[in-house]
Amino acid sequence: MTPLPTPKLDGLLARLRARLVGHVRRYAIGRFLLVGSAGLGLLFLADLALDLPGPIRALHLALLLGSLGYVGWRYLSRPLKAIPERVGLAALLERAHPELFELFTSAAQLSAAEAESETQRGLISSLVTRAEARASEFELGAVEDPRAPKRALLGGFGALLHADQK
């Protein structure tokens, strides 16, 4: 048996994945700008107040670069690897909409499954058809909350602009 196509469900899951990747990127950029601005501000103030020698400045710069590397790993690399694949994304949709009764998850799993009989193939086809119909009218608004990534990005840009003012 060939896998049953699910273009509308696949499109919905791809849109959800793209939104999650965008949220992770915005959040990571905000944190990166915040840590970078704060670190540069501290380096500037320490050098201005203490007139630090060159090796200490280099050490502080290495610590700043190391902390920026950690921020990149912690807020970008790790969360991007944690974004689930097709079935996990379907489960995320169903967590926000329990009235789906695992329709998307079942369709994602069974559309590629081998049917042992014509009865099973008919049941799977019916399930996939219902999932496709529901996916075409589904809105992602209740599934994800873009406020935290926006706040982090605005906070990072605010810190950058504030550091630029001094």
Residue pLDDT, tens place only, 70-80: 999 999 999 99
**What pLDDT is recorded for position 137?**
86
Count Cβ atoms below 10 Å from residue 6 Cβ, excluding itself. Answer: 22
**What pLDDT is recorded for position 165?**
67
Each residue's pLDDT tens digit, 109-129: 998 887 788 898 889 899 999
List of the chain residues with pLDDT < 50: none
**What pLDDT is recorded for position 83?**
96
Rounded-to-5 percentages of helix, strand, coil across the chain: 80, 0, 20
Its pTM stands at 0.86
**Contact assessment for residue 83 and residue 17, using Cβ atoms and an 8 Å cutoff:** yes
Closest CA to 93 of 139, 148, 137: 139
